[in-house]
Amino acid sequence: MMPSPSRYIFNRFQVANRLLGEHDVPLACVEQVVTVNDAKGKQKVLCSNQKLKFNPTELILYCKDFRIIRFRFDEAGPQSAKKVCLAIAHYSQPADPQLLFGFEYVGKQYYGSLGERVNGVDPGGGLQMPLFDRPSEWDREIKRTGAAEWRVCSINEGYIVSSSLPEYFVVPVSLADQDLKQYLCFFTAHRIPLWCWNHPNGSALVRMASISDPLQQRKLDQRICSAITKSHPQRSDVLKSDLDKNLPNIQDIQAAFVKVRQICVIEPFEESEEKWLSSMESSRWLEYVRAFLKHSAEVVYLLEGKHVSVILQEEEDRDLSCVVSSLVQLMLDPHFRSLTGFQSLVQKEWVMAGHRFLDRCNHLKKNDKEESPLFQLFLDCVWQIINQYPAAFEFTETYLTVLSDSMWIPVFSTFLFNCPQQRTENSMDFAKSKCIPLGEEKALRFPPVWDWSQQFTPKDQALFNNPMYVGKGATCVQNGAVKSFRRTKKNYSSTLRGMPSSLRNILMDGHDSLTLTRRNSLVPRLKSDFSQIREVVESPTERFFRDWVSRPADLQGMLIPQLLPSHLALWRLYFLRWVPEASIPKGGPVTAYHKLSQLADEVEKLQSQLRQYKGATPASTPTSNPSAPPSDHSRMYFKACSTLEPSSTPEYLSSSFPFSPVGNMCRRSILGTPLSKFLNGAKIWLSTETLANEAL
């Protein structure tokens, strides 16, 4: 093993994934395969079925989760080194979806020779959340939101009218199936308007593709808007937001993401370098995060403040609308801030709505122009809101990071396909080609990512739980009694609101339009915001947000993020977790998380003891003896210390927790790990920079 620089000393800690070994990298996670010959000074990016004309001395894998892994071939023969490099390049770039690992895995793991299910869970059967693949689950969502004038539509059963829509979706009661069948041919990809969510005041959030026939534009707009208006108790107006005009496109988002990766991971990282922050701003990633949050907040104003329904329109209704519709619901509905609710939101607005995960993740490496990190952008937006209102969410940033990493484990139906129909078609063809008997099932049933027991132990899953979460069912102890928590102004602490109300949440451009300038640099926008405070008469929109921020935040009500540039931050855990120079030993947000988890665990134990002393039923108590140690049923990863133990910060904690940058130390003066050693169980050496001034 190679010595690590003494400048960076870390205690190793890594959450174990049940599907992956300690150093396993899924082939779907490999972004680029680069071979190097030190003696000849050559580098080559390998694509599938390419020839390699020189003998490699080193292999560099650039991974989609921001890791860079380097292997040395000092102890391997030249032909063996070539074979390894070419094999990885070939299998990391499959030519067909059915060559993805998930098909072989599901076929062997879940199906026996007679077609019976083996060794697996029935997707959806053991989950406490809807997958929205059946009418009953849509019915429950309609009832939950009080959308009495909306109904489940089944005209797409068997995907006979649109290949990208789910089999079941929700439409206004006043629109008959026959009308919908007449309209669908005028919409791009036959994607007629879909209901997303209903506000308690009756306003609806709807998404739809653009109308492909200009001659039918006015007629269809009137009919659709009339049906949505009839679904509103007050027959309120309907406003349309054109996302293609108001937000960055997928190519802009991809370009920004590539720049952030270059800045955070590939280029030499020096935290004190003056150019680092300006480079981050020039990437425009945070600008785009702000743009989506800002636009979503404007839609929130229309639904909440003006009581009107909103249609989100996009060319194909499969990309930008997924981000905006999800953020709007997250800001307005506390149900989606719980773990189960958030997962159902992603399932509903991304998976079932037909987001192109296969293309946007570029699993097949077919078309780089189709690749775009829209889901990562959404998770970053969610993290920004969590960062401002940490007690409003049941889940943590660790959960968001692990969810993003799961995109590159090609086993789950959640992230493998462009739409449900594609999953069904490909899995049926694969089952036939491999003679896998399906029994009564239509196709192979891929496991959803939401069954986290497939990847993590119950203890590691506890890292998803936020100790500060204040949910509807949360409990607190008042005057020695356990009571249900109800937030009032007396309970509220306004320490998170650092700026005067006159300067907070300047969201609009001085008018009520949903128009958003696409290229708006953060610094010029900040200057214009201040000039509006002095010169522009306050609009109804600005008054709405000013009034909202002047009141204590209801964590079980509407949440609006603060959007001045100073309020948005780089998501360090996601972007910098593998960079040792950026890791803070015994520092970062995890230190507060550690203490709060211990405190929450202690409160849970005290509550349990109070219930026992008050004579609770045996079924609700972990033990009948109050003095006996409680069973390990806590939701917290870090447990409360006993009075005899010091409450010190564990040595392995760092700002990268629960990920470890240890070994991520490859520099020109330090050679990578010989591949033969790795295959014998030696550790991988991870790199955070490429060789300086050497183009790939």
Percent pLDDT > 90 in the chain is 53
CB neighbourhood size of 675 (10 A) = 22
Q: What is the pLDDT of residue 113?
A: 55
| Residue 628 scores a pLDDT above 60 | no
Token look-up 């032909």 returns 79
Select the more confidently predicted residue: 630 or 77. 77
Residue closest to 419 by CA, chosen among 363, 365, 352: 352
Q: What is the pLDDT of residue 617?
A: 52
Structure confidence at residue 270 as a pLDDT band (50, 70, 90): low
Mean pLDDT on 601-612: 89
Q: What is the largest CA-CA distance in the chain?
A: 79
Q: What is the pLDDT of residue 457?
A: 93
Q: For the range 261-264, what are the long-range contacts, defined as Cβ-Cβ under 8 Å and sequence gap of 24 or more?
A: 261/66, 264/66, 264/575, 264/576, 264/579
| Rounded distance between C-alpha atoms, residue 650 and residue 655, angstroms | 12
Two structure tokens written together for 484: 């249900």
| Rounded distance between C-alpha atoms, residue 499 and residue 504, angstroms | 6
Mean pLDDT on 648-663: 80
| Residue 683 scores a pLDDT above 90 | no
Select the more confidently predicted residue: 90 or 663. 90
Query: Residue 106, SS3?
Result: helix
| Residue 176 scores a pLDDT above 90 | yes
Query: Residue 480, SS3?
Result: coil
By residue count, the chain amounts to 696
Q: What is the pLDDT of residue 6?
A: 34
In the chain, how many H helices and how many E strands? 22, 14
| Residue 522 scores a pLDDT above 70 | no
208 DSSP assignment: E
Select the more confidently predicted residue: 688 or 646. 646
Token look-up 């534009």 returns 217
Amino acid at 423: R
Structure confidence at residue 1 as a pLDDT band (50, 70, 90): very low
Residue closest to 411 by CA, chosen among 455, 356, 351, 353: 455
- Segment 200-249, tens digit of pLDDT: 999 999 999 999 888 889 999 999 999 999 999 999 999 999 999 999 99
Q: What is the DSSP string of 413-478?
A: HHHH-SSHHHHHHHHHHHHHHTT---TT-SS--PPPTT-GGGTS-HHHHGGGB-TT---TT-EEEE
| Residue 622 scores a pLDDT above 80 | no
- Segment 301-360, tens digit of pLDDT: 999 999 999 999 999 999 999 999 999 999 999 999 999 999 999 999 999 999 999 999
| Residue 398 scores a pLDDT above 70 | yes
| Rounded distance between C-alpha atoms, residue 464 and residue 373, angstroms | 23
Are residues 601 and 636 in contact, defined by beta-carbon separation less than 8 angstroms? yes
Two structure tokens written together for 632: 């390990």
- Segment 10-28, tens digit of pLDDT: 445 667 899 988 778 999 9
Structure confidence at residue 692 as a pLDDT band (50, 70, 90): very low
Angle at 86 between CA 84 and CA 92, to 5 degrees: 100
Q: What is the pLDDT of residue 172?
A: 97
| Rounded distance between C-alpha atoms, residue 632 and residue 478, angstroms | 25
Query: Residue 168, SS3?
Result: coil
| Rounded distance between C-alpha atoms, residue 336 and residue 141, angstroms | 12
Angle at 269 between CA 265 and CA 273, to 5 degrees: 140
Structure confidence at residue 285 as a pLDDT band (50, 70, 90): very high
Q: What is the pLDDT of residue 365?
A: 85
Peptide bond into 658 cis (omega under 30): yes
| Residue 506 scores a pLDDT above 70 | no
Structure confidence at residue 496 as a pLDDT band (50, 70, 90): very low
- Segment 554-600, tens digit of pLDDT: 999 999 999 998 899 999 999 999 888 888 998 899 999 999 999 99
Structure confidence at residue 38 as a pLDDT band (50, 70, 90): confident
Q: What is the pLDDT of residue 396?
A: 97
CB neighbourhood size of 549 (10 A) = 17
- Segment 94-106, tens digit of pLDDT: 989 999 999 988 8
- Segment 434-472, tens digit of pLDDT: 888 877 777 888 899 999 999 999 999 999 999 999 876
| Residue 409 scores a pLDDT above 50 | yes
Select the more confidently predicted residue: 266 or 304. 304
Amino acid at 470: V
Q: What is the mean pLDDT of the chain?
A: 81
Find the DSSP H helices in 502-639: 522-535, 540-549, 572-576, 589-613
Select the more confidently predicted residue: 335 or 50. 335
| Rounded distance between C-alpha atoms, residue 558 and residue 435, angstroms | 52
Two structure tokens written together for 34: 């680069």
Q: Rounded to the nearest 10 degrees, how much is the dihedral formed by the CA atoms of 504, 506, 507, 512?
A: 130
Q: What is the pLDDT of residue 662?
A: 53
Q: What is the pLDDT of residue 266?
A: 76
In sequence order, the 6+-apart residues with CB closer than 8 A to the CB of 294 are 507, 516, 563
Two structure tokens written together for 139: 């019915």
> Where does residue 269 rank: exposed (0-12), middle (13-18), buried (19+ CB within 10 A)?
middle
Q: What is the pLDDT of residue 489?
A: 37
| Residue 373 scores a pLDDT above 90 | yes
In sequence order, the 6+-apart residues with CB closer than 8 A to the CB of 68 are 60, 61, 62, 265, 266, 578, 666, 686, 687, 688, 689, 690
